[in-house]
Protein backbone atom coordinates (compact mmCIF):
# COMPACT_ATOMS: atom_id res chain seq x y z
CA UNK A 1 0.00 0.00 0.00
CA UNK A 2 1.38 3.40 -1.00
CA UNK A 3 1.99 5.45 2.14
CA UNK A 4 2.48 8.89 0.58
CA UNK A 5 0.01 10.00 -2.10
CA UNK A 6 0.47 13.34 -3.89
CA UNK A 7 2.76 14.55 -1.12
CA UNK A 8 0.32 13.63 1.63
CA UNK A 9 1.09 10.98 4.22
CA UNK A 10 -1.93 8.66 4.19
CA UNK A 11 -0.73 5.44 5.81
CA UNK A 12 1.81 5.22 8.63
CA UNK A 13 3.82 2.02 8.99
CA UNK A 14 6.75 2.38 11.39
CA UNK A 15 8.77 -0.75 12.12
CA UNK A 16 9.56 -1.46 15.78
CA UNK A 17 7.14 1.32 16.66
CA UNK A 18 6.91 0.60 20.39
CA UNK A 19 10.68 0.38 20.88
CA UNK A 20 11.18 3.59 18.91
CA UNK A 21 8.43 5.41 20.81
CA UNK A 22 9.94 4.33 24.13
CA UNK A 23 13.31 5.60 22.93
CA UNK A 24 11.84 8.99 21.99
CA UNK A 25 10.21 9.29 25.40
CA UNK A 26 13.57 8.52 27.00
CA UNK A 27 15.22 11.23 24.90
CA UNK A 28 12.56 13.71 26.00
CA UNK A 29 13.27 12.86 29.64
CA UNK A 30 16.91 13.74 29.00
CA UNK A 31 16.13 16.89 27.01
CA UNK A 32 13.73 18.19 29.64
CA UNK A 33 16.45 17.72 32.23
CA UNK A 34 14.32 15.39 34.37
CA UNK A 35 17.10 12.82 34.70
CA UNK A 36 20.77 12.50 33.65
CA UNK A 37 21.63 9.79 31.16
CA UNK A 38 23.55 7.70 33.70
CA UNK A 39 20.58 7.56 36.06
CA UNK A 40 18.16 6.75 33.23
CA UNK A 41 20.36 3.83 32.20
CA UNK A 42 20.49 2.60 35.80
CA UNK A 43 16.68 2.54 35.87
CA UNK A 44 16.60 0.44 32.70
CA UNK A 45 15.15 3.31 30.61
CA UNK A 46 11.42 3.93 30.06
CA UNK A 47 11.16 6.40 32.94
CA UNK A 48 7.98 7.88 31.44
CA UNK A 49 5.66 5.17 30.15
CA UNK A 50 1.96 4.47 30.64
CA UNK A 51 0.42 1.18 29.37
CA UNK A 52 -1.96 3.08 27.06
CA UNK A 53 1.07 4.33 25.14
CA UNK A 54 1.17 0.85 23.62
CA UNK A 55 -2.02 1.82 21.74
CA UNK A 56 -0.19 4.83 20.32
CA UNK A 57 2.62 2.51 19.22
CA UNK A 58 0.10 0.23 17.49
CA UNK A 59 -1.22 3.23 15.56
CA UNK A 60 2.32 4.15 14.55
CA UNK A 61 2.89 0.57 13.39
CA UNK A 62 -0.26 0.60 11.25
CA UNK A 63 -2.44 3.71 11.17
CA UNK A 64 -4.85 2.13 8.67
CA UNK A 65 -5.16 5.54 7.04
CA UNK A 66 -6.51 7.15 10.21
CA UNK A 67 -5.44 10.19 12.18
CA UNK A 68 -5.04 10.14 15.96
CA UNK A 69 -7.32 11.47 18.71
CA UNK A 70 -5.67 11.38 22.15
CA UNK A 71 -7.80 12.16 25.18
CA UNK A 72 -7.24 11.88 28.91
CA UNK A 73 -6.74 13.86 32.08
CA UNK A 74 -4.18 16.61 32.53
CA UNK A 75 -0.60 15.46 32.84
CA UNK A 76 -0.75 12.02 31.19
CA UNK A 77 1.69 12.93 28.40
CA UNK A 78 -0.73 13.84 25.60
CA UNK A 79 1.15 16.99 24.57
CA UNK A 80 4.55 15.31 24.81
CA UNK A 81 3.37 12.49 22.55
CA UNK A 82 1.43 14.55 20.00
CA UNK A 83 3.71 17.56 19.58
CA UNK A 84 7.12 15.96 20.05
CA UNK A 85 7.52 12.17 20.13
CA UNK A 86 5.12 11.26 17.30
CA UNK A 87 6.18 14.08 14.92
CA UNK A 88 9.82 13.09 15.42
CA UNK A 89 9.13 9.50 14.44
CA UNK A 90 7.12 10.59 11.40
CA UNK A 91 9.90 12.91 10.31
CA UNK A 92 12.52 10.19 10.76
CA UNK A 93 10.49 7.68 8.75
CA UNK A 94 8.98 9.87 6.03
CA UNK A 95 10.84 13.21 6.11
CA UNK A 96 7.49 14.90 6.66
CA UNK A 97 7.09 17.72 9.18
CA UNK A 98 3.93 17.88 11.26
CA UNK A 99 2.76 21.45 11.96
CA UNK A 100 1.77 21.81 15.62
CA UNK A 101 -0.74 24.33 16.92
CA UNK A 102 -2.23 25.24 20.24
CA UNK A 103 -5.79 26.55 19.99
CA UNK A 104 -4.66 30.23 20.32
CA UNK A 105 -2.07 29.65 17.58
CA UNK A 106 -4.68 27.96 15.41
CA UNK A 107 -7.06 30.89 15.77
CA UNK A 108 -4.28 33.35 14.91
CA UNK A 109 -3.14 31.43 11.80
CA UNK A 110 -6.45 29.90 10.73
CA UNK A 111 -6.22 30.67 7.01
CA UNK A 112 -2.97 28.72 6.68
CA UNK A 113 -3.94 26.01 9.16
CA UNK A 114 -6.91 24.81 7.12
CA UNK A 115 -4.59 24.16 4.17
CA UNK A 116 -1.98 22.13 6.06
CA UNK A 117 -1.91 18.44 5.14
CA UNK A 118 -0.16 17.20 8.31
CA UNK A 119 -1.36 18.98 11.44
CA UNK A 120 -1.26 18.54 15.22
CA UNK A 121 -3.71 20.49 17.40
CA UNK A 122 -2.95 20.41 21.10
CA UNK A 123 -5.42 20.80 23.96
CA UNK A 124 -8.77 21.22 22.21
CA UNK A 125 -11.14 22.73 24.77
CA UNK A 126 -14.15 25.05 24.71
CA UNK A 127 -14.86 26.59 21.30
CA UNK A 128 -13.43 29.99 20.41
CA UNK A 129 -14.84 31.77 17.38
CA UNK A 130 -12.73 33.85 14.99
CA UNK A 131 -14.38 36.84 13.31
CA UNK A 132 -13.40 37.55 9.72
CA UNK A 133 -15.17 40.51 8.15
CA UNK A 134 -18.37 39.72 10.00
CA UNK A 135 -18.16 35.97 9.45
CA UNK A 136 -17.67 33.77 12.51
CA UNK A 137 -15.38 30.76 12.15
CA UNK A 138 -15.02 27.90 14.60
CA UNK A 139 -11.52 26.94 13.61
CA UNK A 140 -11.17 23.46 15.07
CA UNK A 141 -14.37 22.44 13.28
CA UNK A 142 -13.12 23.93 10.01
CA UNK A 143 -9.80 22.08 10.29
CA UNK A 144 -11.68 18.83 10.98
CA UNK A 145 -13.96 19.34 7.98
CA UNK A 146 -11.02 20.18 5.71
CA UNK A 147 -9.04 17.18 6.94
CA UNK A 148 -12.07 14.94 6.39
CA UNK A 149 -12.69 16.20 2.86
CA UNK A 150 -9.03 16.30 1.74
CA UNK A 151 -7.65 13.27 3.62
CA UNK A 152 -5.27 15.37 5.73
CA UNK A 153 -3.40 13.72 8.59
CA UNK A 154 -4.88 15.12 11.81
CA UNK A 155 -3.54 14.44 15.31
CA UNK A 156 -5.15 16.21 18.25
CA UNK A 157 -5.27 16.07 22.02
CA UNK A 158 -7.98 17.03 24.47
CA UNK A 159 -8.94 16.73 28.12
CA UNK A 160 -12.58 16.50 27.02
CA UNK A 161 -14.54 13.29 26.85
CA UNK A 162 -16.20 12.33 23.58
CA UNK A 163 -19.56 13.39 25.01
CA UNK A 164 -18.22 16.79 26.07
CA UNK A 165 -16.59 17.29 22.68
CA UNK A 166 -19.88 16.44 20.97
CA UNK A 167 -21.82 18.88 23.15
CA UNK A 168 -19.38 21.70 22.41
CA UNK A 169 -18.65 21.16 18.72
CA UNK A 170 -21.67 19.22 17.52
CA UNK A 171 -22.34 15.59 16.82
CA UNK A 172 -21.45 15.96 13.14
CA UNK A 173 -17.88 16.88 14.14
CA UNK A 174 -17.45 13.95 16.54
CA UNK A 175 -19.01 11.63 13.95
CA UNK A 176 -16.37 12.75 11.46
CA UNK A 177 -13.61 12.41 14.03
CA UNK A 178 -14.68 8.84 14.78
CA UNK A 179 -14.49 8.04 11.08
CA UNK A 180 -11.11 9.65 10.46
CA UNK A 181 -9.16 9.13 13.72
CA UNK A 182 -8.07 6.32 16.00
CA UNK A 183 -9.26 7.32 19.48
CA UNK A 184 -6.88 6.52 22.35
CA UNK A 185 -7.98 7.33 25.90
CA UNK A 186 -5.10 7.54 28.38
CA UNK A 187 -6.33 6.65 31.85
CA UNK A 188 -2.98 6.58 33.66
CA UNK A 189 -1.93 8.74 36.58
CA UNK A 190 -0.55 12.20 35.93
CA UNK A 191 3.11 12.22 34.95
CA UNK A 192 3.60 15.66 36.45
CA UNK A 193 4.21 14.12 39.83
CA UNK A 194 6.54 11.68 38.08
CA UNK A 195 8.50 14.61 36.64
CA UNK A 196 8.97 16.04 40.14
CA UNK A 197 9.96 12.58 41.39
CA UNK A 198 12.57 12.29 38.66
CA UNK A 199 13.93 15.75 39.42
CA UNK A 200 14.07 15.14 43.18
CA UNK A 201 15.80 11.78 42.69
CA UNK A 202 18.32 13.51 40.45
CA UNK A 203 19.00 16.09 43.16
CA UNK A 204 19.49 13.34 45.76
CA UNK A 205 22.04 11.68 43.50
**What does the pLDDT look like over 84-120, one tens digit per residue?**
999 999 999 999 999 999 988 988 887 888 889 999 9
pLDDT in tens, 5-18: 888 999 999 999 99
- Mapping DSSP to helix (H, G, I), strand (E, B) and coil, where does residue 10 land? coil
Q: What is the pLDDT of residue 199?
A: 44
Nearest Cα residue to 46 out of 72, 70, 20: 20
Mean pLDDT for all residues in the chain: 86
Q: What's the pTM?
A: 0.88
Check residue 192 and give its pLDDT: 58
Torsion region of 200: left, alpha or beta (phi above 0 gives left; psi -120 to 50 gives alpha): alpha
Domain boundaries, the chain: 10-204
Is residue 200 scored above 80 in pLDDT? no
Q: What whole-number distance in Å separates Cα of residue 84 and Cα of residue 156?
A: 12
Cα Dmax for the chain: 60
Given a contact cutoff of 8 angstroms between Cβ atoms, the answer to whether 32 and 151 are in contact is: no
**Whole-angstrom Cα distance, residue 117 to residue 147?**
7
What pLDDT is recorded for position 32? 76
- Per residue in 65-75, pLDDT (tens digit) is 999 999 999 98
Identify the CATH homologous superfamily for domain 10-204: P-loop containing nucleotide triphosphate hydrolases (3.40.50.300)
pLDDT, tens digit (0-9, with 9 covering 90-100), for 132-151: 776 777 889 999 999 999 99
Amino acid sequence: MEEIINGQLRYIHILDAEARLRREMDLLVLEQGWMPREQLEEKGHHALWIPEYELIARWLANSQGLGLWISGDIGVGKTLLATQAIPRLIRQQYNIIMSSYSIPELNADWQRATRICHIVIDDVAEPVFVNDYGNRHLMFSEVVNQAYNCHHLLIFTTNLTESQLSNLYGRHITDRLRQMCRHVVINGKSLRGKEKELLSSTIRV
